[in-house]
Chains A and B, each alone.
Chain A
Amino acid sequence: MIELLFFLFSAVALGSAINVLVQKHVLYSSLSLILLLTAMSGLFVLMQAEFLAVINVIVYAGAIMVLFVFVIMLLNLPPDEGGDDRLRWLKLIGIPMGLFLLFMVGRTVWNVEGTPTAPELSGTAQAIGASLFTDYLLPFELTSLLILIALMGAVVFAKKDL
């Protein structure tokens, strides 16, 4: 049963991930991205990380992607026409980078000894909160500072004369 669900969610995630890249219309791409995030949450649940799964949906699928869709609708972008390819250099850099990432992930998975099991209760809100506020306190606070700077930058951009 779990294996079946795993393959189901993985197939949906992979299919929608490919669809994000292939689609010419930017709205369809972002809708596929929402599907991808939901499928990823399904995979999180199978690893007994319910808290992460739910937060993933709330933050990304339910809030950030709504902003994406909102902006796409506001600008009412036409489908991508191909033609003049401004992203040619990105493709040249992207393919080796992607292969390198694949290699690193493959090597890491290859080197794992035995069958990996999720540590008991590692996905609960308590466990995540405890590790965020003890082991990872500095990165956590720095991230919040980064977000604050981005927020202030957005305000400065939006209002020329403050």
Chain B
Amino acid sequence: MIEYLSSREFLILFVKMIAIFGGVMGALAYTTLVERRIMAFVQMRPGPNRVGPYGLLQPIADGLKFLFKEQTVPGSANVLLYYAAPILSMIPALLSFAVIPFGPELLIADVNVSLLLVFAITSLGVYGIVLGGWASNSKYPLMGAMRSSAQMLSYELSLTLSVVGVLIISNTLSLSELVRSQQGTWLGFLPKWNIFLQPVAFLVYLLSGIAETNRLPFDLAESEQELVAGWHTEYSGMKFAMFFLAEYANMVTVSALATIMFLGGWNGPFMGGPWWLQMVLPTFWFVLKIAGFLFVYMLVRATIPRIRYDQLMYFGWKVLLPLALANILVTSFFVAVL
């Protein structure tokens, strides 16, 4: 049944919402800075280090720049959809944080199908890209948008199927239940994480996750060398920033899901200690694991060249999808036998 909240529960929920939203937005802003610094480090140049100590105020300067930039709309654009597209991209990207458990208590809504809910929300994110590319009414954005919709549709299959193996093992669709099912250790030292049971699924998930978020080496939708900037060529100022933030938010969501499903979520060592440490520690482990994934994303972007479009389609349909299906078959066989 649907229960009504008391005013105290409502207040706690409100504080959680503010904390998660503020935390996520702040983290996203600084992820852009960290990415630029890491890219610069790999390419042996200093990177943005002038604004504030170590360039720490750079995100604020960027934000101000985006706010005060001239708002341009292409003359032949479909104005309604041109303005709606960044919003349609941003809302799903942020909405999925409502069901992601950052800690035992730190989650906004505990839905019993929260894993599928995240997939449902993120699958709506493609409309922002597609409509943005279409509404700009110019060649490169349209090419980027069509590439993006074909790519996201293809890789969403293997992304969703790679998860099925984990679901068969843990027998639940709720993210917080998934985390709880991975508590404890095997033989006293090996953490009970699903990555050790489902290594193939983890690889498939990680690769299709990179493709889903349109990141290098799968960023065919943007691919600067051929399409200028792909689907957001005609966007500038705050509207561009919204697309940009949505991309980073999707990266964080994919990493958070990978952490929850394969790396034990907020589980970690040293869970004892005083009460305030017990409150903070799970969230700390969770954020640390997500940061690890984001670091991998950035290293991959800095080191691996972009693949061709036919290679992208070949890889998605003829390598990742059969692998994911075989993984389901093998997993269900073992679960049925054992």
Chain A residues with CB under 8 Å of chain B are: 1-2, 27, 31, 34, 38, 48, 50-51, 54-55, 57-58, 61-63, 66-67, 69-70, 73-74, 124-125
Contacts and interface: CB of A to CB of B under 8 A. Distances in A.
Contacts of A124: 112
B149 A70 contact: yes
B120 A54 contact: yes
B146 A69 contact: no
B130 to A, nearest CB: 6
Given A67-B153, A70-B150, A62 B112 contact: no
B116 interface: yes
Given A50-B111, A54-B117, A73-B134, A34 B127 contact: yes
Given A50-B112, A62-B120, A124-B112, A73 B145 contact: yes
Interface residues of B, number: 29
- A27, A54, A73: which has the most chain B beta carbons within 10 Å? A54
Contacts, number: 70
Given A1-B4, A55-B116, A62-B120, A73 B130 contact: yes
Contact of B153 (A38, A51, A63): A63
Given A27-B134, A34-B127, A58 B150 contact: no
A70 B2 CA distance: 38
15 contacts: A1-B4, A27-B134, A50-B111, A50-B112, A50-B113, A58-B160, A62-B119, A62-B126, A63-B153, A63-B156, A66-B149, A70-B146, A70-B150, A73-B142, A125-B173
Given A55-B116, A66-B149, A66-B152, 11 more contacts: A31-B131, A48-B1, A50-B112, A58-B116, A58-B123, A61-B123, A62-B119, A66-B153, A69-B149, A70-B130, A73-B142
Contacts of B160: 58
A66 B126 contact: yes
Given A57-B123, A73-B145, A74-B146, A125 B113 contact: yes
Given A57-B123, A57-B124, A125-B173, A66 B116 contact: no
Chain B interface SS verdict (over half): helix
A31 B113 CA distance: 26
Top-5 shortest CB links A-B: A62-B123, A57-B120, A54-B116, A70-B149, A58-B120
A61 B153 contact: no
A137 B13 CA distance: 43
A61 B124 contact: yes
A73 B119 CA distance: 24
Interface in B107-142: 111-113, 116-117, 119-121, 123-124, 126-127, 130-131, 133-134, 142
Contact of A58 (B1, B119, B127, B149): B119
A62 B113 CA distance: 17
Contacts of B133: 73
Given A55-B116, A58-B120, A69 B127 contact: yes
Contacts of A2: 2
Contacts of B153: 63, 66-67, 70
Interface in B149-175: 149-150, 152-153, 156, 160, 173
Contacts of A125: 113, 173
